[in-house]
Amino acid sequence: MPNASVPEPLPEEQEVLRLREIIAHNSDWLWEVDSQGRYTFCSEHSRQMLGYAPSEVLGKTPFDFMPAEEAARVGAIFAGIVAEQRPFAGLINRNLRADGRLVVLETSGVPLFDEQGSLIGYRGIDRDVTPAIGPLDRREVQLEALYAAASVALGLVDRQGILVNVNHALGQLLGGDATQLVGQPLLMPQLDLAQCLAELELGRSVADCELDWRERTYLLSIGAVRDLDQQILGMTLAFSDITEQRLMREALAQSNAQLAEANARLQALASEDFLTGLPNRRRFDEALLQEKARARREGRPLSLLMVDVDHFKVFNDHYGHQAGDECLRRIAVLLGQSLQRPGDQVCRYGGEEFAVILPDTDVHGARSVARDLCRQVFDAHLEHLASPLQRVTLSIGSASHDPDHPDNSVALGALLRVADLALYRAKQGGRNRLVQGGQEEPAAPH
């Protein structure tokens, strides 16, 4: 039986096999793109170059693997090459690997045409030249990539305010393409670049400032760019979006203001009598201590009046507690209206008792004020049919400290006790009267 022989490959098949072997063992990355720049062929070396399998590369463009600024730069160059339908070589471009590392490729390619001579794409190779870049150049490349991809809006203007460099974030902030903004003046009415340059020329720093732009708030930092002779070539600009911080700051300020207002209200409530709105017993004790300390420190007179509404228990029994509350509110208003000086204070001491603090007032002044208080209430004709006088009246006990007249003076520490005792005597003596340190007199007409 004759031996079966293996047929020899045809010359065309041999050529294809040789090409596949060359591609498989080539250290460069071979590729083809269509007229739209999309990969239609990708050799296995895309794994070594970019960290992506060929299947992950097909259908994408070279610019999908570049930082935005680099894609704009290389895209502009490649557009010119395609427009002239010419081959190219040695096009250096920066790419981001799948692991985030930067790789620098040198790209060369030739145009592909169909039978009618129309451009249908490019075929070419990429070579990794990252190791050939020096340490300083590599650092520069890395910094440029970071600059382009930074979330902070970064830019550089010359002395005339013309944009020399714009990263992607600043392009978005200004509402344009970063590459197209280069060479254009920076138009921000809120920003006086000439004044900033003048400050830098004088050796001063430009303070960071907040700037509102298109419904956002930015913190702007400005620095000088100098040559080797320390002459200013331009300025760096960094816009940090602080809108959220501003909103939080405003919300915190509003909360603090509301808290302060609430605390003030609570403080007022803690020192205010709920029924009459006058300072309460607690506030009276504080005010009396303050005024006694001032009188002692300055050697000034001080008087205290203790005021009681006559026959008030009978008033409540006759008219009811609601009417009694209204009576106390009317008395509080009348007492307040009778005091003429800002420093005089009337407080609700408790029940139907009130206290009046009279700074810089001697025994004669206290007598005059007490008479006015009694007359004011008497003349108001507040009905009290259960009282002998058929109207509401007051009894007042007074005590005065007067360093200039020690014979008629009460020690500061005894003011409240003496005034309270004088009030007791006024009530025991028939009410509707004033008693001053043991001196008794009717306080209002009968």
Catalytic residues: 352
Nearest of 88, 77, 93, 126 to residue 110 by alpha carbon: 88
Report how far residue 353's alpha carbon sits from residue 122's, in angstroms, rounded to the nearest whole number: 104
The two three-digit tokens of residue 6, written as one number: 């293996």
DSSP string of 270-286? HHB-TTT-SB-HHHHHH
Report how far residue 212's alpha carbon sits from residue 210's, in angstroms, rounded to the nearest whole number: 7
> Do residues 222 and 236 touch, judged by C-beta distance below 8 A?
yes
Q: At what angle do helices 312-319 and 321-338 cross, to 10 degrees?
A: 130
Report how far residue 412's alpha carbon sits from residue 203's, in angstroms, rounded to the nearest whole number: 65
Report how far residue 373's alpha carbon sits from residue 339's, in angstroms, rounded to the nearest whole number: 8
> Do residues 120 and 112 touch, judged by C-beta distance below 8 A?
yes
| Torsion of the alpha carbons at 239, 243, 246 and 247, rounded to the nearest 10 | 180
Count of Cβ atoms closer than 10 Å to residue 174 Cβ = 21
Burial of 195 (0-12, 13-18, 19+ CB in 10 A): exposed
Nearest of 389, 395, 390 to residue 434 by alpha carbon: 395
Give all strands (DSSP E) within 250-344, no chain letters: 302-309
Report how far residue 147's alpha carbon sits from residue 145's, in angstroms, rounded to the nearest whole number: 5
Q: Which amino acid is at 377?
A: V
Report how far residue 96's alpha carbon sits from residue 149's, in angstroms, rounded to the nearest whole number: 11
Place of tokens 């009410």: 431
CA distances from 85 to 62, 111, 423 (A): 18, 6, 114
Beta strand pairing status for 209-213 and 102-113? unpaired
Nearest of 386, 300, 372 to residue 337 by alpha carbon: 372
Contacts of 434 (CB under 8 A, 6+ apart): 367, 370, 371, 374, 395, 396, 397, 398, 426, 440, 441, 442, 443
| Torsion of the alpha carbons at 275, 279, 285 and 289, rounded to the nearest 10 | -170
